[in-house]
Amino acid sequence: MNKNTITQIIQNHQPRIIGKQRYYSVFIPFIKVDGEYHILYQVRANHISQGGETSFPGGRIEPGETPEFAAIRETHEELNIHPDQIHVWSEMDYIVSDWAIIHCFVGELHDVSLDDISPNEEVDYVFTIPLEQLLKQEPITKTVDYHPTACDDFPYDLINQGEDYSFRPFTHEVMMYELKDEVLWGLTASLTHQFINILRSGVESLVK
């Protein structure tokens, strides 16, 4: 293979993240409750994966979909709200891990009250938290330590130091919001915290 072939191939290549991540998209939905903006959360039904956990509407991005379209579709399907009532304001920061890329959009459930929401079978129930409460509250942050373990047939003879090789452990931060009747934790808490920090920083910039 010559230089011209190599340069042509690499110049036509679209850079992407190395790995086998799956692509997901979620929606942070605002809803008005008694004239005040709340953020709506849902609790996953027990018969699906991660049952009983709190999440935002969302799911896997299907082939041919944009992340925004997937967020709207999943919100429509899970909350039984017409797509025309799901108003996306913007995309915020997203999560990249070794197993997934999770896009996150923020917007409003327009002309929708809590009584209008009749979730599908994937959702046990929904609840809301006033935005002003989240702006005042800080999450608890704890750490989880992971220590890699090689599989039984790992070819230690092919690597330097063999069985004495020290695989690097790593620490993962887990956020939790303790609420009156609910707990936000994991990715849902992380996305909530990131969004709240964006609002706080934005307000400070406007004041300056």
Percent of the chain at pLDDT > 90 equals 77
Whole-angstrom CA distances from 51 to 48, 123, 175, 183 are: 5, 9, 19, 14
C-alpha dihedral sign at 79, 77, 182, 102: negative
| Per-residue model confidence (pLDDT) at position 34 | 93
Name the pTM for this structure.
0.86
**pLDDT of 157:** 94
**Cβ proximity of 88 and 105 under 8 Å:** yes
pLDDT-based confidence at residue 129 (cuts at 50, 70, 90)? very high
